A and B are shown apart, each in its own frame.
Chain A
Amino acid sequence: MNDHVALKNHQQEIFNFRLRLVIGVVFVLILLGILAARFVYLQAVRYDYYHTMAENNRISVVPIVPNRGLILDRHGIVLAHNYSGYTLEITPSKVKNLQVTINELATLVDIAPRDRKRFKQLLAESHNFETLVIRNRLSDEEVARFAAQQYRFPGVEIKARLFRDYPFSDKTAHLLGYIGRMNQRDVDRLEETDLAANYRGTDYIGKTGLEQYYESELHGTTGMEQVEVDSAGRAARILSRTLPVSGNTLVLSIDAKLQEIAEQAFGDYRGALVAIDPANGEVLAFVSRPGFDPSLFIDGIDEENWRELNNSPDHPLNNRVLSGQYPSGSTIKPFMALAALHYGTRSPTDTISDPGYYALPGTAHHYRDWKKGGHGTVDMFKSIVVSCDTYYYGLAVATGIDNIAAYLTNFSFGKKTGIDLQGEKSGLLPNTEWKMKRFKQKWFAGDTVSVGIGQGYSLVTPLQLAAATATLANGGIAYRPHLVREVRNSVTNETRKIDNPVEADLKIDPAHLDLIRRAMAAVTQPGGTAVSASAGAPYTIAGKTGTAQVVAMKQGEKYDASKIDERHRDHAWFISFAPVEKPRIAVVVLAENGGHGGGTAAPIARKVLDYYLLGKVPKPAEVPVVTGKTAAVAASGVPEVEVEHD
């Protein structure tokens, strides 16, 4: 009986299950039936419609790439803009034999080996539908010649495109950077940030400099057009259109004329110059020499040019302002002095008697002053004016490396300034902890000695030194250096100011500040190390020279510029601000292998100051063109007296 019930239940259960299964089968048949019906609808009933769409008059959604935003200097001078030009483009999928077609095209328009190479590269990276550029910037004549023969070349067409142009070319290359063809990495990044749709149709993206940093402002919003395209791929009729929105205009704090003058003032020197408005951190000039032609990069640089730029001993691709790390040399001394005053390890009136060298207590090693025989009795004021090394050896040891590091970090040494560009280096502000981590070694007193005059482990970028100088000029109120003043909406013309709030107030004792500024002002007066800088100037200049050693010298060896290979000569620094009473500009100059700061770097700064404060444009004769200290100083028209090697 029980068995019977169980059996019956089992049968009942199987029956129930099979019933459900049948329902499942019916369900699946309905789903597949829906699909079949849908296919019949799309492929038989609506076939004509979709066939038309796909085949004869393909409707395609064509993105309209927005115009990239302009970049202007503070006075509205154009630094980057777009111009329209013609390109010759090939759709590989519509061409039977690419090689033959290109060879035939070459009889109509110039196609350089460089163009062929680039085309080959594009082809390798492309999808099969894309049209690829074979020639850029066709001349009117070439356009006409091809147009007459176009029927012979199915799949080849002329397109009007916008090209990016940088009127100042190499002079703004390190500042503006450049745009370049998007690569897979760019695409991936856009997809990560969900921006890929807005870049449909866009070929170029900011790669370096401001073009990269402000990509999101400059790009704009892509529009689109639904067009009917005939079988040859020509747009037959526009069905609907959403206009693109051009990218925003960037208005920089850079003064293009000042930038140009600074560039020219360098002559053949390599190096960097940064000019900052101390009152708000606006960068007025941003020069890294030598520059390079940014237009080479836009469509992918060819091998030849790349090798030349990359292997050049002048390192033109190196952005010296941001990423050049150099010993600061004596330019660090005013900041060292402030550190010592802050910690009370030196008072303004403390004096030393300088025998021309410094020795750590109980050791025989001589740390030499740059001046043989020394400077006699030196107090803090004089130590800056004559750039006495001995004074700072002792000062640094007395203050201690960790105190120095803690204080100088306020001036943005050893950390990124946070300027609106990518790729900034942070220099090096060493301390005991750093050395332990880096070398697994204790910090020695001797390490501190050389840091006192900006040598040893310490490294700065020109931008850091400029930011620090600006902070000093501004009485200890620090601003983050920045390049873009405002962003102008391309449609409404509304401008949005870029806020740059006070970064930090260093709360420097006014008496200390006054001492350092007076001393720096005396640097450019007779008796100072950079008297050439202010000769004949109707305004006052505070400055400090510096020399960064490229090659270390042996104990007892004498530095003789003429005997040293040019590239091993010292780098020349000059930091300055003017007018001393109410500083309007801070300028920092680095002339690589320039010898000493007073001789080569200071005259460059002077030309920048003259233009900015007086509107004075240097005469062509004043522009040095020959490499070498003597030539530069002679050409600057300033007597060489009092110019000393600090």
Chain B
Amino acid sequence: MTRRQLWLRIIAHIDPPLLLGMGLLMGISLLTLYSASGQNFERVLAQGSNILVALFCMWIVANLPLHILLRMAVPIYVLGLLLLVGVALFGEISHGARRWLNLGVTTIQPSELMKIGVPLMMAWYFEKYEASLTLKNYIVAALLLVLPVGLIARQPDLGTSLLILASGFYVLFLAGLSWKIIAGLFAAAIASAPVMWSLMHDYQRHRVEMLFDPSQDALGKGYHTIQGMIAVGSGGLFGKGYLAGTQTHLDFLPECTTDFIFAVYSEEFGLVGNLLLLVIFLFVIGRGFIITANASTYFTRLMAGSITLTFATYAFVNMGMVSGILPVVGVPLPLVSYGGTSMLTLLLGLGMLMSIHTHQKLVKT
């Protein structure tokens, strides 16, 4: 095998357009992180190694044939569910929430696993009963979704549970859940809002209240929202320039390397930068849609569609939260925020997209 053949073998399952989009976002991540961390090069290196590890995992997933992906659905889901039950029973409490499970060697957050596990399981289930889908199947699929979501919401981690709920809902939607039921669900959701409110934890209510009037608690919970909006707004058309964001560098912004990194970017690169970022996101999401549209099996269509829509949702929720149209729920900006876990989960999803796309292409030719 020549070097060229080896190289072709390595990149065989990589989707160049998707990789390009991701690479741009990761570049923005490193660039912004350097500024957000107060020009701390170590932080950038740490994120760089997060990216490399995640890229490697993505490459492995991209090379997995589809039938293996399909076969992994049930074990991953069951494992995730068991871990979630484990968290509920023996989890470690940090910041008033029980999210982590200490395995002795390392602590893990099983809800991260379920971000992939839930849509995978639901897509597997629909694939299995593809020939004869009835209402009963949708109900079973919905139960597969509600169980982990409920466990995660109880931790309490409302943000993650809602996002997983969304990813599962996308599967249901794409699998052809009837419009009547969708309309009914929305009506029920709106009707049950007061009940939800009464079930929410104090800090969750607080976050929702803050959305409507952040100045109510400008020092405490509303602080994030106000400072985020000031950072974004003061960026203006062209931004204050790289490394020149006053909000960031004067420490007004909390968590500016993780959940609020978009505020830093926004402040320094302005409206032009923001629109460019939206275009890049749209490019990645669009590529995801194309892969979805070309997917050959029921399973891959549902999976690809859900991954793409979920990715879009993450991006929307994070930017919406920083710019003050959504409550602060603690969702990172995909591929940009600092952090190894979310980077890994996202790239595993994108790796699946690549696998879905490249494996059927090979079959066709």
A385-397 toward B: CB 8 Å interface, digit per residue (1/0)? 0000000000000
Q: Which of B230, B235, B251, B313 contacts A127 (CB 8 A)?
A: B251
> When the two chains form their complex, are residues B234 and A61 in contact, meaning their CB atoms are under 8 A apart?
no
> When the two chains form their complex, are residues A18 and B218 in contact, meaning their CB atoms are under 8 A apart?
no
Stretch at the interface among B26-34, B136-144, B169-177: B169-177
Nearest chain-B residue to A201 (Cβ)? B219
> Known contacts being A20-B173, A42-B232, A51-B234, is A63 close to B219, with CB within 8 Å?
yes
> When the two chains form their complex, are residues A25 and B249 in contact, meaning their CB atoms are under 8 A apart?
no
- Interface hits, A45-59 → B, CB 8 Å: 46-47, 49-51, 53-55, 58-59
> When the two chains form their complex, are residues A34 and B289 in contact, meaning their CB atoms are under 8 A apart?
no
Stretch at the interface among B71-79, B82-90, B105-113, B277-285: B277-285
> Known contacts being A17-B301, A44-B237, A128-B38, is A24 close to B249, with CB within 8 Å?
no
Q: Which of A47, A130, A224 contacts B251 (CB 8 A)?
A: A130
> When the two chains form their complex, are residues B292 and A21 in contact, meaning their CB atoms are under 8 A apart?
yes
How far, in angstroms, from A44 to B285 measured CA to CA in the complex? Answer: 26
Interface presence of B196 (CB below 8 A): no
Q: How many A-B residue pairs have CB under 8 A?
A: 136
Q: Which of A21, A25, A36, A50 contacts B275 (CB 8 A)?
A: A36
Nearest chain-A residue to B174 (Cβ)? A20
Chain B residues with CB under 8 A of A40: 271
> Known contacts being A129-B251, A197-B219, is A47 close to B234, with CB within 8 Å?
yes
Chain B residues with CB under 8 A of A55: 234, 246
How far, in angstroms, from A81 to B301 measured CA to CA in the complex? Answer: 71
How far, in angstroms, from A55 to B174 measured CA to CA in the complex? Answer: 47
> Known contacts being A38-B325, A93-B249, is A31 close to B316, with CB within 8 Å?
yes
Chain B residues with CB under 8 A of A59: 230
Q: Which of A38, A51, A59 gathers most chain B CB within 10 Å?
A: A38
Chain B residues with CB under 8 A of A192: 94-96
Chain A residues with CB under 8 A of B320: 34-35, 38
Interface presence of A101 (CB below 8 A): no
Chain B residues with CB under 8 A of A537: none
Chain A residues with CB under 8 A of B312: 28, 31-32
Q: Chain B interface: which size bin? A: 35 or more
Interface presence of B305 (CB below 8 A): yes
How far, in angstroms, from A32 to B226 measured CA to CA in the complex? Answer: 22
B212-230 toward A: CB 8 Å interface, digit per residue (1/0)? 0000001111010010011
Interface presence of A226 (CB below 8 A): yes
Q: Which of B223, B249, B275 gathers most chain A CB within 10 Å?
A: B275
Nearest chain-B residue to A193 (Cβ)? B96
Interface presence of B274 (CB below 8 A): yes
> When the two chains form their complex, are residues A51 and B173 in contact, meaning their CB atoms are under 8 A apart?
no
Interface presence of A474 (CB below 8 A): no
Nearest chain-A residue to B267 (Cβ)? A54
Interface presence of B200 (CB below 8 A): no
How far, in angstroms, from A17 to B281 measured CA to CA in the complex? Answer: 23
Chain A residues with CB under 8 A of B94: 192
| Chain A residue total in the interface (Cβ 8 A) | 46
Chain A residues with CB under 8 A of B152: none
Chain B residues with CB under 8 A of A377: none
> Known contacts being A21-B174, A50-B234, A54-B230, is A43 close to B270, with CB within 8 Å?
yes
> Known contacts being A35-B320, A47-B234, A192-B95, is A61 close to B246, with CB within 8 Å?
no
> Known contacts being A24-B289, A53-B230, A55-B246, is A42 close to B237, with CB within 8 Å?
no
> When the two chains form their complex, are residues B282 and A54 in contact, meaning their CB atoms are under 8 A apart?
no
> Known contacts being A24-B289, A39-B275, A54-B246, is A129 close to B233, with CB within 8 Å?
no
> Known contacts being A28-B312, A35-B320, A192-B95, is A50 close to B271, with CB within 8 Å?
no
Interface presence of A141 (CB below 8 A): no
How far, in angstroms, from A535 to B43 measured CA to CA in the complex? Answer: 74
How far, in angstroms, from A183 to B20 measured CA to CA in the complex? Answer: 44
Q: Which of B252, B266, B309 contacts A60 (CB 8 A)?
A: B252
How far, in angstroms, from A39 to B305 measured CA to CA in the complex? Answer: 27
Q: How distant is A223 from chain B, measured CB to nearest CB, in Å?
A: 9
Chain A residues with CB under 8 A of B235: 43
Interface presence of A222 (CB below 8 A): yes
A114-133 toward B: CB 8 Å interface, digit per residue (1/0)? 00000000000001111000
Chain A residues with CB under 8 A of B234: 47, 50-51, 53-55
Chain A residues with CB under 8 A of B170: 24
Q: Which of A25, A39, A194 gathers most chain B CB within 10 Å?
A: A39
Interface presence of B293 (CB below 8 A): yes
Q: How distant is A514 from chain B, measured CB to nearest CB, in Å?
A: 55
Q: How distant is A373 from chain B, measured CB to nearest CB, in Å?
A: 66
- Interface hits, B292-331 → A, CB 8 Å: 292-293, 301, 305, 308-309, 312-313, 316, 319-320, 323-325
Pairs A–B under 8 Å by Cβ, sample size 20: A28-B285, A28-B289, A31-B313, A32-B312, A34-B325, A38-B325, A42-B232, A43-B236, A47-B233, A49-B233, A51-B236, A54-B233, A54-B247, A55-B234, A58-B246, A93-B250, A129-B250, A129-B251, A222-B219, A224-B219
Chain B residues close to A by CB (< 8 Å): 38, 94-96, 170, 173-174, 176, 218-221, 223, 226, 229-237, 246-247, 249-252, 266-267, 270-271, 274-275, 278, 281-282, 285, 289, 292-293, 301, 305, 308-309, 312-313, 316, 319-320, 323-325
3 nearest A-B pairs in the assembled complex, by CB-CB distance:
A50-B233, A129-B251, A54-B234
18 new A-B contacts, CB < 8 A, other than A32-B312, A55-B234, A224-B219, are A16-B176, A21-B293, A21-B305, A25-B289, A31-B313, A32-B281, A34-B320, A39-B274, A43-B235, A44-B236, A49-B233, A55-B246, A61-B223, A63-B219, A127-B251, A128-B251, A129-B252, A224-B218
